[in-house]
Structures are given as C-alpha cells and as structure tokens.
Amino acid sequence: MDNPSSAEAEVVALIWSQHPCDRRHRKEAAFIKCAIPKLEWVDGEGPYACIAWCRVPTATLWATYSEALRAKRDIDYRACGGKCLRKHQIVRIVLG
C-alpha cells in the first residue's frame, strides 16, 4: 500500500485499513490523525473521510459515501481554502 500521506495520492475512493502503527484506534478521527501526522484538523464522525491535501491537509468524516462525495464536490467547486490545489480525495476507513 502506498503511503497515505503522500501528496501524490490519487483522487479516488480507496480503503485505509492500516498504517504504520501498533495502536488500535477505536475512532476514525483518531485513526486519520495518526495516519496523516500533518493533518491540520478533522471534523465529523464516520468511516468515510473527505480529505483535502491542499496546502495543509484537512479532513471531514461522514457516515456514508454519498455524504462524503457531496462534501468533496462542494470543496471541488468552492475550493477548500486559501490555496486550494483541487487535491481532494475520499477514503473509507476500516478500523482493525
């Protein structure tokens, strides 16, 4: 599996079930903060993460894929922040 923190991560939905860490995260927010050490903030709850890799990585969590997709389309359209590079991605988090 590619390093999920890579800025070259493809803009597709993919599954993250592990990262280099011995802990078992019980919350997706804890998982994603650990998987992306540079993550500026994470908001929401749920297994679908809409991640913006622009400037500083940020993420929102959603209960369903369609909600995450809506969030992605929203920032695709409006831009996610000051220096949006349109590097937005949905991943599904599967806790171990």
Residues 4-23, one symbol each (x = binds Zn ion by CB under 5 A, - = not), give -----------------x-x
Min dist CB 58 to Zn ion, Å, is 9
Rounded Cα distance between 46 and 7, Å, is 23
Q: Compute the least distance from the CB of residue 53 to Zn ion, in Å.
A: 7
CA angle 6, 9, 10 (to 5 degrees): 175
Token pair listed for 27: 């919350």
Kindly identify the residues of this chain, within the stretch 38-57, that bind Zn ion according to CB under 5 A: 52, 54
User: What is the Cα–Cα distance from 34 to 12, expressed in whole angstroms?
Assistant: 21
Contact positions vs Zn ion (CB under 5 A): 21, 23, 34, 52, 54, 80, 84
